[in-house]
Structure 1
Amino acid sequence: MRTRLIPLAAAAALALTACGGGGGSGSSQAQEFCDQLAAGTDPFEIFQSMRDEYPDQPDWAADAKEWAKSTCPDQLASNEILRNIISNTGGDPDS
């Protein structure tokens, strides 16, 4: 159960940062996103945790691409789930 709570707590922190409650800037939001990817959190789970701020998946995917591009380009290059979400919502993960 503890291992399930860690991603949930981290996703909540990311959602709080995304809506401004964490006092973070865009760069801290990008860092939170990348930290979650590095911890092994599925990108779709991150999106689901941010549905209030991003009801439209293509908008989230565009921002997620920019977060990864600026903060964790290795994840953008290698995380197939993230790349598929970006591609399936009309984006190009390689541009």
Structure 2
Amino acid sequence: MTNEELLQIIEQTAKEKETVLHLDNNQLSSLPPEISQLSNLTWLSLYNNQLSSLPPEICQLSNLIILFLDNNPQLSSPPPEIVEQGTEAILTYLQARLEAKG
């Protein structure tokens, strides 16, 4: 999936006020900060991609309950020990990164 295609999906998902977004099996290596526009999301699945890091802006998804990151072997930010603790720990980690970013 290209970055342009991903931005179109984000735009459409935001417009339709979707609460669930599955971006599984797309070989994604990154996510744009625009993902934070999906304020209605409660479930974001990023299973089986090539993500190395998550944009800290994900922490702005205030309704997010489930963030599914399994099988992203290159993911280093957040680190595996944070990912293993679940969505709340991931969002807390990303919030700290966003605040540090300024």
**Normalised by the shorter chain, which TM-score bucket?**
0.3 to 0.5
Kindly indicate whether structure 1 or structure 2 has the higher relative contact order, using CA contacts under 8 Å at least 6 residues apart: 1
Give the TM-score normalised by the residue count of structure 1.
0.43
- In proportion to residue count, which structure has more helix? 1
- In proportion to residue count, which structure has more strand? 2
